[in-house]
């Protein structure tokens, strides 16, 4: 157990980074929970905020953070469970078999780690504890990076690692010398040591002793036999393991190496061709907050006395319960309804299901307030959009193909991200390829009723903590359409 001095008596806290598996990996869904004591962090609030950003950062090259919980003394971070082998197991297996790792595979390791570090750096992170056991070899992409230590967030990271008897042999000279906050250069140094281990079949500085590591760094660097590899790879490795941080090769330079660029382009192309980008395990659904009924429904055309069918847009022609509208009048006149609840922020999901409406089902959104008086069809003006039973999507009178048709047996869900101003469509939980960007700043969800005795139920209305996972994974032939605000010609 970790312990530290707390006046006036010693207090025992949770071991830093204590891990436990939650769920059943064999059932297709499991998570890894890590417990981090707040007392060992420089600024727990800052730490929490940075980790929270990782929940929203969906990247196929980084182990996904799925939840963060806070107690009085600890922060509990839940991440996806990785059941595949790490690079550590792979290197060990190759070594036991007496094989030499090909140069192509070495560049794979360089590329995937460098790309993962770049993705972390884009969100203001560096790793700080990079080693082979934190690089995972995945089935559908080359690999991903996990177990972020966030070195600069911890009060005394070296003491923590010594206390845990952690492997220290991948730390940079500036890390073990306590030279204040470190930079991405330390992660580059660790990457160099990983590559040196891959070509030399053993770690250069394997140790759990800080004093021993300091002694090794006080001596000249050991030689690395690389005669079987290209001069380009030799020079890259030499640049990585330079003991002076300011003289090391930079991450940008590594990513500019032609071989690395070619490998990354290949992976990105491979991921883009997958029907669904299965780079995540089965995930928990995003945290949601239900918006319960009863709902108030507004008839779009009700207040337009100039409409020749004005008399048919009356409440008596429709029955309404808490979540459902049913058309009672024997007429095929299309009537558009909206939930009288505008949204301007957050991520909102609204699901619809129809009864007795085969061949005439439409759902969509409109800007608020509604200015489409006299227009019975949602989607026929600059303010609105509709997804049709045929699979077509119409916005401002323009038709877009690409989505699947839906029937009364399907539940149709519209997910609007009001921060990014995007709208995605789901048919029975399957993400559709067409989505819209730059949607109105304030929206209402709506639907159309056409056939007599047809009905539409708002089966779910909720806000989400983060987008549905499939939106970040994507599907084949995804295409974003920018909302068209241009006025229609008279």
Cα dist from 290 to 98, 420, 463, whole Å: 58, 21, 7
Q: Is residue 2 part of a domain?
A: no
Q: Which residues pair with 424 in a beta bridge?
A: 415, 435
Tell me: do 267 and 295 sit in the same domain: no
Cα dist from 411 to 350, 405, 428, 446, whole Å: 10, 12, 5, 14
pLDDT of 162? 82
Tell me: do 267 and 292 sit in the same domain: no
Residue 401 CA from chain centroid, whole number? 27
> From the DSSP assignment, how many helices (H) and strands (E) are in the chain?
11, 24
Count up the domains in the chain and report the number. 2
> Comparing 469 with 364, which gets the higher pLDDT?
364
Residue 464 has pLDDT above 80, yes or no: yes
Residue 304 has pLDDT above 70, yes or no: no
pLDDT of 48? 76
Q: Is residue 3 part of a domain?
A: no
Query: 206: which 2 tokens?
Result: 């394997």
pLDDT of 51? 67
Q: For 271-290, what is each residue's pLDDT tens digit?
A: 654 433 333 333 444 567 88
Residue 356 has pLDDT above 70, yes or no: yes
Tell me: do 305 and 450 sit in the same domain: yes
CB atoms under 10 Å from CB of 458, counted, come to 22
Q: Is residue 280 part of a domain?
A: no
Indicate the SS3 state at residue 35. Answer: strand
pLDDT of 244? 92
Contact by Cβ (8 Å): 182, 152? yes
Q: Phi and psi (nearest 5°) for 489?
A: -75, 145
Cα dist from 327 to 8, 28, 222, 355, 448, whole Å: 73, 44, 82, 11, 10
Q: Which residues pair with 270 in a beta bridge?
A: none
pLDDT, mean over the chain: 80
Tell me: do 306 and 160 sit in the same domain: no
The residue range of the domain holding 86 is 13-273
Q: Is residue 364 part of a domain?
A: yes
Determine the Cα–Cα distance for residues 77 and 48; give it in Å rounded to an integer: 9
Instruction: Write the CATH number for 37.
Output: 1.10.510.10
Tell me: do 462 and 439 sit in the same domain: yes
Tell me: do 141 and 70 sit in the same domain: yes
DSSP summary character for residue 45? H
Tell me: do 222 and 312 sit in the same domain: no
Cα dihedral: 153, 64, 111, 474 (round 10): -140
> Comparing 366 with 315, which gets the higher pLDDT?
366
pLDDT of 281? 36
- The last residue of one of the domains, among 231, 249, 273, is 273
pLDDT of 394? 95
Which contacts of 373-377 are long-range, i.e. CB under 8 A and separated by 24 or more positions?
Answer: 373/300, 373/301, 373/303, 373/304, 373/306, 373/307, 374/301, 374/304, 374/306, 374/307, 375/300, 375/301, 376/300, 376/301, 376/309, 376/333, 376/334, 376/335, 376/336, 376/448, 377/334, 377/336, 377/448
Q: Which helix (DSSP H) or strand (DSSP E) does residue 237 occupy?
A: helix 231-240
Determine the Cα–Cα distance for residues 313 and 302; give it in Å rounded to an integer: 5
Tell me: do 375 and 315 sit in the same domain: yes
| pTM, to two decimals | 0.56
Which range is least confidently modeled, 39-43, 161-165, 246-250?
161-165
Residue 489 has pLDDT above 70, yes or no: no
Q: What is the mean pLDDT of residues 348-353?
A: 93
Q: Is residue 8 part of a domain?
A: no
Query: 351: which 2 tokens?
Result: 């699901």
Q: Which of 116, 121, 149, 163 is nearest to 34 (CA)?
A: 149
pLDDT grade for 405, boundaries at 50, 70 and 90: very high
Residue 68 has pLDDT above 80, yes or no: no
pLDDT of 471? 82
Instruction: Write the CATH number for 349.
Output: 2.60.120.920
Q: What is the mean pLDDT of residues 426-441?
A: 93
Q: Is residue 156 part of a domain?
A: yes
pLDDT of 286? 55
Q: Is residue 487 part of a domain?
A: no
Length of the chain: 490
pLDDT of 225? 84
Considering only CA atoms, give the Rg of the chain.
Answer: 28
Tell me: do 236 and 310 sit in the same domain: no
Tell me: do 165 and 120 sit in the same domain: yes
- Angle, helices 103-122 vs 258-273, to 10°: value is 80
Which range is least confidently modeled, 9-18, 320-329, 356-365?
9-18
pLDDT of 277? 34
The percentage of residues in the chain with a pLDDT greater than 70, rounded to a whole number, is 81
Q: Is residue 278 part of a domain?
A: no
pLDDT of 193? 95
Which contacts of 401-408 are long-range, i.e. CB under 8 A and separated by 24 or more positions?
Answer: 401/434, 402/432, 402/433, 402/434, 402/477, 402/479, 403/427, 403/432, 403/433, 403/434, 404/430, 404/432, 406/361, 407/358, 407/361, 408/353, 408/354, 408/355, 408/356, 408/357, 408/358, 408/361
- The last residue of one of the domains, among 273, 308, 334, is 273
Residue 431 CA from chain centroid, whole number? 15
pLDDT of 303? 47
Tell me: do 265 and 300 sit in the same domain: no
Residue 41 has pLDDT above 80, yes or no: yes
Tell me: do 245 and 347 sit in the same domain: no
Which range is least confidently modeled, 164-168, 427-431, 472-476?
472-476
pLDDT of 348? 94
> Comparing 314 with 162, which gets the higher pLDDT?
162
CB atoms under 10 Å from CB of 317, counted, come to 17
């Amino acid at each position: 157990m970790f312990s530290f001095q707390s006046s006036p008596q010693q207090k025992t806290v949770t071991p830093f980074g204590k891990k436990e598996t939650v769920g059943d990996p064999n059932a297709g869904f499991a998570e890894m929970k890590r417990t981090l004591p707040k007392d060992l962090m420089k600024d727990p609030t800052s730490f929490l905020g940075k980790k929270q950003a990782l929940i929203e950062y969906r990247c196929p090259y980084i182990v996904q953070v799925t939840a963060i919980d806070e107690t009085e003394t600890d922060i509990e971070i839940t991440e996806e469970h990785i059941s595949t082998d790490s690079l550590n197991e792979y290197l060990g297996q190759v070594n036991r078999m007496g094989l030499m790792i090909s140069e192509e595979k070495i560049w794979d390791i360089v590329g995937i780690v460098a790309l993962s570090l770049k993705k972390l750096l884009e969100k203001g992170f560096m790793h700080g504890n990079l080693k082979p056991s934190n690089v995972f070899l995945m089935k559908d992409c080359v690999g991903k990076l996990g177990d972020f230590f966030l070195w600069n967030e911890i009060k005394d990271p070296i003491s923590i690692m010594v206390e845990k008897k952690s492997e220290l042999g991948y730390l940079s000279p500036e890390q073990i010398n306590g030279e204040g906050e470190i930079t991405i250069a330390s992660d580059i140094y660790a990457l160099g040591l990983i590559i040196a281990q891959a070509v030399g079949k053993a770690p250069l500085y394997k140790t759990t002793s800080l004093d021993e590591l300091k002694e090794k760094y006080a001596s000249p660097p050991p030689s690395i036999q690389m005669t079987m590899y290209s001069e380009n790879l030799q020079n890259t490795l030499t640049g990585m393991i330079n003991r002076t941080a300011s003289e090391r090769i930079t991450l940008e330079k590594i990513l500019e190496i032609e071989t690395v660029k070619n490998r990354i382009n290949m992976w990105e192309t491979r991921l883009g061709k997958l029907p669904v980008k299965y780079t995540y395990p089965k995930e928990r659904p995003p945290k949601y907050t239900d918006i319960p009924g009863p709902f108030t429904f507004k008839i779009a055309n009700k207040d337009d006395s100039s409409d020749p069918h004005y008399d048919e847009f009356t409440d008596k022609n429709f029955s309404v319960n808490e979540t459902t509208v049913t058309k009672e009048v024997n007429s095929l006149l299309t009537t558009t309804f909206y939930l009288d609840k505008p949204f301007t922020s957050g991520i909102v999901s609204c699901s619809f299901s129809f009864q007795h409406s085969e061949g005439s089902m439409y759902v969509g959104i409109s800007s608020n307030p509604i200015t489409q008086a006299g227009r019975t069809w949602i989607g026929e003006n600059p303010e609105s959009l509709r997804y049709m039973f045929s699979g077509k999507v119409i916005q401002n009178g323009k038709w877009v193909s690409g989505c699947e048709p839906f029937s009364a047996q399907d539940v149709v869900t519209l997910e609007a991200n009001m921060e990014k101003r995007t709208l995605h469509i789901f048919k029975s939980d399957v993400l559709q390829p067409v989505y819209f960007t730059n949607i109105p700043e304030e929206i209402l969800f709506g639907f159309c009723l056409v056939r007599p005795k047809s009905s539409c139920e708002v089966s779910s209305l909720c806000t989400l903590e983060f987008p549905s996972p499939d939106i970040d994974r994507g599907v084949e032939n995804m295409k974003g359409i920018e909302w068209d605000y241009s006025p229609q010609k008279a």
